[in-house]
Amino acid sequence: AQSVSQHNHHVILSEAASLELGCNYSYGGTVNLFWYVQYPGQHLQLLLKYFSGDPLVKGIKGFEAEFIKSKFSFNLRKPSVQWSDTAEYFCAVNAHGGNKLVFGAGTILRVKS
């Protein structure tokens, strides 16, 4: 069965620090990869997704993620975080041929101003 691991459950950063959130998945076939974000008091929403092409994908609000197939990873990055990036971030994987998303447990990011 597919599984998704997010290595850090809580991350605390100061504004302007760089961010990298780890995500690894266990599925061996072709996958679609997603990062979703839930800001305080808001719905879960898509940050970015990868399904083919350039393994470096850019999303909203300056976020990007890199798909490294050999490492089964899809890490999320942002060069300089802002206080407004405080949120919970979820990595999710979908195997080609299905519409079932498998989520990681989430990483809570707190940015100190």
Partner 1 sequence: DTAVSQTPKYLVTQMGNDKSIKCEQNLGHDTMYWYKQDSKKFLKIMFSYNNKELIINETVPNRFSPKSPDKAHLNLHINSLELGDSAVYFCASSDGLAGTDTQYFGPGTRLTVL
Site mask for partner 1 (CB under 8 A), range 5-34, x = bound: ---------------------------x-x
**Nearest-approach distance from CB 42 to partner 1, in angstroms:** 8
Helix (H, G, I), strand (E, B) or coil at 101: coil
Closest CB to partner 1 among 41 and 70?
A: 41
Widest Cα–Cα separation across the chain: 43
N- to C-terminal Cα separation, the chain? 41
CB of 84 to partner 1, least distance (A): 20
Question: Cα 109–48–55 angle (5° rounding)?
Answer: 110
Cα separation, 102 vs 97, in Å, equals 14
Query: How are beta strands 10-14 and 107-112 bridged, if at all?
Result: parallel
The contact mask relative to partner 1 for 59-98 (x = CB under 8 A, - = no) is: -------------------------------x-x-xxxxx
The site for partner 1 (CB under 8 A) is made up of 32, 34, 36, 43-46, 49, 51, 90, 92, 94-106
